[in-house]
Chains A and B, each alone.
Chain A
């Protein structure tokens, strides 16, 4: 069953492989970073988006040598170490090598820890556009002067309230450019998720919760809004297009909305960070 061991005495496979890996990685990593970098989502529609793109670029740069390592290893091994004769031959009885194990553990641990540290650093900047719950710990500088906008998720539409403009509610989201915005995302029924792709904002809309996300808008643009959490029948249709407009245009727009929706604004509940609508409805 087992037979004479055959060692591939001959070329120094290990050294060959390592050198090939280092060379290939040195070529591939900058190539990937340069070619793929600009294509990485979500673009630079907001300061958070730019931060995420940078984050992705770093991740891609770290991940490429790892990927090259494993793929090159596989290719090398499959090409060099195949049993070519069909005879039942054994390989050498190596059961381990402490040096390799320790090196591997040290390298992988160091990579992983630095990635975690880097991610935390990015997160600390401004929360990276993610929903942070009611006590958002990662607020960017200048957050005390942020514009509050509430996003209300309901089955199956988002509506938006501007507390600093009389609590007016609008069916479409318009934001001023170059402004720090504090989004309060909440839901009236099931769990939704407010995802503004180009602004790189995603915050779940949980009933009874005020989920805060920060976004620092840049220049005027439109952005896609999708619901990113399955919320029932029309989840796939719960999308919209939002706008970032110049600050004076925004001021004009909000005035116009206040006038247009004045009849219904008096029926709205006072602005609150969460709402508790009555869950039971009597039979119609």
Chain B
């Protein structure tokens, strides 16, 4: 019956449309994923060394993100460019030397306990000087991997600094603090890291927005 062919075509078109819409829908959910950054490692497997260079900025700026005034971590990739990528792949049982250039001002800790570095090999150095504990109103950010027991408070650029960096990526000619530390990755796994300083201005308790989004102030360490 000719009506049946018409109906069949209609149903087929409907199913195709539904399939396309569902495809877009699912793809949309997957879109947040990105390729993790893998810094170069030297040395024999099982005892490798990795260098990681990071900067923290007050605002990401219009070139790098859909949210231009969100704070963020950026990592320097193997070709020297700064990328807004917070998922890093590290070898297991390796020694990781980290350098963080901070271009952001102080926000302060909600829990002062988080001002004492933990879980590091040796001491945390701020502009070359070792840190025992940071007073709670000073930290600009923290780099913390709770499952690995790592906690690193990050020193601020002074409020009255003459040459602050506005938008990322920030060149080292702007005012900044240099924080260096070393930690050891242990067993394989996927460990999350986060910032503990309520630095998301404008959200309740400073913990909304960039503080709750992977790619800004949160990320993963894929230890493989």
Interface residues in chain A, defined as those with a beta carbon under 8 Å from any beta carbon in chain B: 152, 154-157, 159, 169, 171, 188-190, 232-234, 237, 240, 261, 263-264, 267-269, 277-284
A154 touches B116 (CB 8 A): no
Contact among A154, A261, A263 for B110, CB-based, below 8 A: A154
Known contacts A281-B107, A281-B199, A283-B58: A267-B205 contact under CB 8 Å? no
CB contacts (< 8 Å) of A156 on chain B: these are 146, 194
Residues of chain A within 8 A (CB-CB) of B58 are 283-284
Shortest CB-to-CB span from B191 to chain A, Å, is: 9
Contacts of B132 in A (CB 8 A): 263
CA distance A209 to B223 in the complex (A): 38
Taking the closest CB of chain A, its distance from the CB of B55, in whole angstroms, is: 14
- By beta carbon, the residue of chain A nearest B200 is A281
A residues near B104, Cβ cutoff 8 Å = 284
Take A277-B110, A284-B105 as given contacts and tell me if A171 and B205 are in contact as well, using a CB distance cutoff of 8 Å.
Answer: no
In the bound complex, do residue A279 and residue B205 qualify as a contact, i.e. CB atoms below 8 Å apart?
yes
3 nearest CB pairs, A to B: A281-B206, A283-B201, A264-B116
User: Would you call A264 and B110 a contact (CB within 8 A)?
Assistant: no
A275 to chain B, nearest CB (A): 8
By DSSP majority rule, is chain A's interface helix, strand, loop, or mixed?
Answer: loop
Cβ-defined contact, A171 with B201, below 8 A: no
Query: Are A237 and B116 interface neighbours, CB within 8 A?
Result: no
Q: Do residues A267 and B118 form an inter-chain contact, with CB atoms below 8 A?
A: no
Cα separation A234 to B147 with both chains bound (whole Å): 12
The verdict on B169 contacting chain A, using a C-beta distance below 8 Å, is no
A154-B111 contact given A264-B116, A284-B199, CB 8 Å threshold: yes
CB distance from B167 to the nearest CB of A (A): 14
Q: How far is the CA of A154 from the CA of B114 in the complex (A)?
A: 11
Not counting A264-B112, A284-B71, a sample of 6 additional A-B residue pairs whose C-beta atoms are within 8 angstroms of each other reads A154-B110, A155-B211, A189-B205, A263-B116, A280-B206, A282-B201
Q: A residues within 8 A CB of B206?
A: 279-281
Give chain A residues whose Cβ lies under 8 Å from the Cβ of B107.
281-282, 284
**B3: CB under 8 A from chain A?**
no
Interface-central residue, A159, A264, A277, A278, by most chain B CB under 10 Å: A264
